[in-house]
Amino acid sequence: MARKYPIKDVKLLFGLAAGRCNSPSCRTECILDETELEPTKVLGKIAHVFAHGEKGPRTNPDLSDKQRDSYDNWILLCPSCHDKVDIQPDSHSAELLFDWKEQHEDWVKERLAEVIPEISFAEMEVITKALLAQRETTFDLHLTPPLEKMKKNNLTNQIQFQITMGLAKAGEVAQFINHVAVLDQAFPDRLKSGFVNEYNRLLEQGYKGDSLYEALLLFASKGVSDFKTIATSMAVLSYLFQKCDVFEA
């Protein structure tokens, strides 16, 4: 039986894990940043909590193929931890792995909350460059209060927390955009256009809800997994989430 890794679920897994091994004694970065010679490389492995096949570690015959190959049944691990949990399945039960995953995603939220007050114009400049469109795109704005928009899109508490935390920096993001616009008047519209264009591209590929948000976050951060870069991406995206007619409104 061939394994399937739906890309929407993969991006959700990596995004919520901040690209790090979920083992609480490890938390190694599973993504190598791009260099002048090579692009970003992924070191992490997607481990199945309940085995993909009928004879693998921690089998669960009650799961469908779709359930086995999804975010809900995966945990992100470094190569060493991945091999360890499968070689010693009795010592690494499904309950333990699900607990690792929950603890790790909570730990990521705590780290983001710690670093978001530290982000500055320097970090915003890097992130906005990734989002900029080459030219302006005309689109209508129909503003909906962020909390109402989040509820309409069935975003989980995890993503709602990220957006709410990012909106705490909305004033500073606006100051940065206005600062750049003094020298580049088209900058605000190209930034919004770049964001909306990527949103629409992902939407056409079937992304929605949490996976859509995490895919946008990975796009803005270029897959870089340090917390300040992720927090800055989160702040800029939250600002644009509030300002642009994206997601269901």
pLDDT tens digits, one per residue of 138-170 = 444 444 555 566 666 677 888 888 888 998 998
Q: What single letter denotes the amino acid at residue 11?
A: K
**How do residues 169-184 score in pLDDT, each as one tens digit?**
989 999 999 999 999 9
Q: Report pLDDT for 249.
A: 45
Average pLDDT over residues 43-58: 89
Distance CA(18)–CA(159), nearest Å, equals 13
Average pLDDT over residues 36-57: 86
Q: Could you give the percent of the chain with pLDDT greater than 70?
A: 89
Distance CA(235)–CA(233), nearest Å, equals 5
Backbone angles phi, psi at 45, to 5 degrees: -125, 140
Q: Report pLDDT for 159.
A: 85
Predicted confidence band of residue 77 (pLDDT cuts 50, 70, 90): very high
Average pLDDT over residues 61-67: 90
* Contact (Cβ atoms closer than 8 angstroms) between residue 163 and residue 150: yes
Phi/psi zone of residue 111: left (φ > 0), alpha (ψ -120 to 50 degrees), beta? alpha
How many CB atoms sit inside 10 A of residue 198's CB?
A: 18
Residues constituting the chain: 249
Q: Report pLDDT for 236.
A: 92
Question: Which SS3 state, helix, strand or coil, does residue 236 take?
Answer: helix
Distance CA(191)–CA(177), nearest Å, equals 9
Distance CA(7)–CA(205), nearest Å, equals 10
The DSSP call for residue 30 is -
Q: Report pLDDT for 247.
A: 62
For the chain, the 3-state helix, strand and coil shares in percent, each to the nearest 5, are 55, 5, 40
